[in-house]
């Protein structure tokens, strides 16, 4: 394999000069630079990543810790991955992917061995056990998901409170007085998915403020259970005119449920979901929804992480907690209320 010594010899200069010519870290005469570049080109020289990492203590690799949970929806996860990998590549970084169930040890391994310059954590739970490991690491970290304690890391998440308010207020404005909110199953909440509470509590507050009745329930995350749940709900609250879905499985199951009850959205029932546009397309869901923007969140996390790695953060490097504003994508599934059969 050709190394920088070979290039230097071919160009008739010292190894250090070849290095400076290629990295541009010191001034080199135009003539020498050209000669070195040419030699490198002709010999097909590519710097050895390990050697460079050893010398610079920078690997140009970002660690990505994801957890492929069985009740997490695959399309959304893939969008996170895509947002992260694409952005990293644009900024000159490669991605080391870990989907290890034991995120703690994986994180410790890749940071302690200096394989990565920084880390992005996905699926961050309220009391995520990877956080202590991350704080002890020498490298910076960016999270997607809001933990209880945000010190020492940059955090990015959807503004679930605003999402809850938006859903309720949108239907309130149309004249609805009784709504149902279907959340993720309880075990997601127990695992630390506090965003479920954040959305639900904000929705309840908004409903109270408007004098609206809001029934809240946890739905199953799997078919056909969630279908049964939906049927039971519609039976239990015959006068409700709006359905809010913070539960992707519920959204995917709803078309079938509505058809079998011979109901139409929005004629008989107004519906608003909370999922990504990609998700809506995959399942061809006709419901308006709060865009959860996984690709965007992944992109933001990597951007900030790289800024921190490259020390481009302003003085005193204040850690950020940034919420993406929920955007309501109108797919025409809401209208003024009609009394259901």
Torsion 145-148-149-150 (CA) sign? positive
- The yes or no reply on residue 114 touching a second copy (CB under 8 A) is yes
Judged by beta carbon, residue 47 or residue 286, the one nearer DNA is 47
Question: Taking the complex as a whole, how short is the minimal distance between the CB of residue 115 and DNA, in angstroms?
Answer: 12
Among 89, 148, 173, 187, binds a second copy (CB under 8 A): 89
Binds 37, which of a second copy, DNA, none (CB < 5 to 8 A, cut-off by type)? Answer: none
Alpha-carbon span 309 to 141, nearest angstrom: 9
Binds 243, which of a second copy, DNA, none (CB < 5 to 8 A, cut-off by type)? Answer: none
Alpha-carbon span 80 to 298, nearest angstrom: 5
Interacting span for a second copy (CB under 8 A) from 21-29, 146-154, 247-255, 324-332: 247-255
Interacting span for a second copy (CB under 8 A) from 159-167, 187-195, 212-220, 250-258: 250-258
Instruction: Say if residues 143 and 301 touch (Cβ distance below 8 Å).
Output: yes
Q: Is 12 left (phi over 0), alpha (psi -120 to 50) or beta?
A: left
- The yes or no reply on residue 50 touching a second copy (CB under 8 A) is yes
Question: Taking the complex as a whole, how short is the minimal distance between the CB of residue 114 and DNA, in angstroms?
Answer: 8
Instruction: Say if residues 238 and 38 touch (Cβ distance below 8 Å).
Output: no
Judged by beta carbon, residue 102 or residue 127, the one nearer a second copy is 102
Instruction: Say if residues 276 and 74 touch (Cβ distance below 8 Å).
Output: no
- For the residues of 170-187, what is the DSSP string, one character each? HHHHTT--EEEEEE--HH
Binds 27, which of DNA, a second copy, none (CB < 5 to 8 A, cut-off by type)? Answer: DNA
Binding region for DNA (CB under 7 A): 1, 3-5, 12-17, 19-20, 22-23, 25-29, 31-32, 45-48, 51-52, 54-57
Instruction: Say if residues 104 and 133 touch (Cβ distance below 8 Å).
Output: yes
Please give the span between the terminal C-alpha atoms of the chain, in angstroms, as a whole number.
Answer: 77
- The yes or no reply on residue 77 touching a second copy (CB under 8 A) is yes
Instruction: Say if residues 128 and 147 touch (Cβ distance below 8 Å).
Output: yes
Judged by beta carbon, residue 132 or residue 224, the one nearer a second copy is 224
**Across the strands, what pairs with 181?**
216, 244
Site map 259..298 versus a second copy, x via CB under 8 A: x------------------x--xxxx--------------
Instruction: Say if residues 218 and 184 touch (Cβ distance below 8 Å).
Output: yes
Q: What backbone torsions phi and psi does residue 276 show, to the nearest 5 degrees?
A: -85, 160
State the residues that interact with a second copy by CB under 8 A.
Answer: 1, 44, 46-54, 59, 61, 64, 68, 73-75, 77-79, 81-82, 85-86, 89, 94-100, 106, 109-110, 112-115, 138, 222-224, 252-253, 255-256, 259, 278, 281-284
């Amino acid at each position: 394999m050709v190394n920088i010594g070979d290039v230097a010899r071919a160009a008739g200069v010292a190894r250090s000069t070849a290095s400076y010519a290629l990295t541009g870290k010191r001034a080199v005469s135009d003539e020498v630079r050209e000669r070195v570049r040419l030699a490198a080109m002709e010999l097909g020289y590519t710097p050895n990543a390990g050697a460079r990492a050893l010398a610079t203590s920078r690997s140009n690799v970002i660690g990505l810790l994801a957890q492929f949970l069985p009740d997490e929806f695959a399309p959304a996860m893939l969008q996170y991955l895509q947002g992260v990998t694409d952005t990293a590549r644009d900024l000159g970084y490669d991605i080391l992917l870990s989907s290890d169930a034991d995120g703690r040890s994986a994180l410790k391994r890749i940071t302690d061995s200096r394989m990565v310059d920084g880390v992005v954590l996905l699926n961050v739970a309220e009391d995520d056990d990877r956080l202590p490991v991350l704080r002890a690491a020498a490298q910076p970290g960016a999270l997607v998901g809001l933990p209880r304690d945000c010190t020492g890391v940059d955090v990015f998440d959807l503004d679930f409170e605003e999402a809850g308010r938006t859903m309720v207020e949108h239907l309130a404005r149309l004249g609805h007085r009784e709504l149902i909110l279907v959340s993720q199953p309880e075990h997601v909440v127990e695992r630390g998915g506090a965003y479920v509470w954040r959305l639900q509590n904000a929705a309840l507050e908004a409903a109270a403020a408007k004098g609206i009745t809001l029934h809240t329930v946890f739905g199953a995350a799997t078919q056909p259970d969630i279908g049964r749940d939906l049927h039971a709900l519609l039976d239990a609250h015959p006068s409700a005119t709006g359905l809010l879905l913070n539960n992707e499985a519920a959204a995917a199951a709803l078309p079938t449920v509505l058809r079998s009850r011979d109901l139409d959205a929005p004629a008989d029932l107004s519906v608003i979901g909370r999922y990504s546009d990609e998700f809506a397309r995959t399942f061809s869901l006709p419901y308006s929804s709060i865009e959860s923007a996984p690709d965007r969140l992944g992109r933001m996390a990597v951007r900030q992480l790289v800024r921190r790695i490259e020390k481009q953060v302003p003085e005193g490097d204040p850690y950020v907690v940034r919420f993406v504003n929920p955007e309501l994508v109108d797919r025409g599934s809401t209208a003024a209320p009609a009394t259901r059969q």
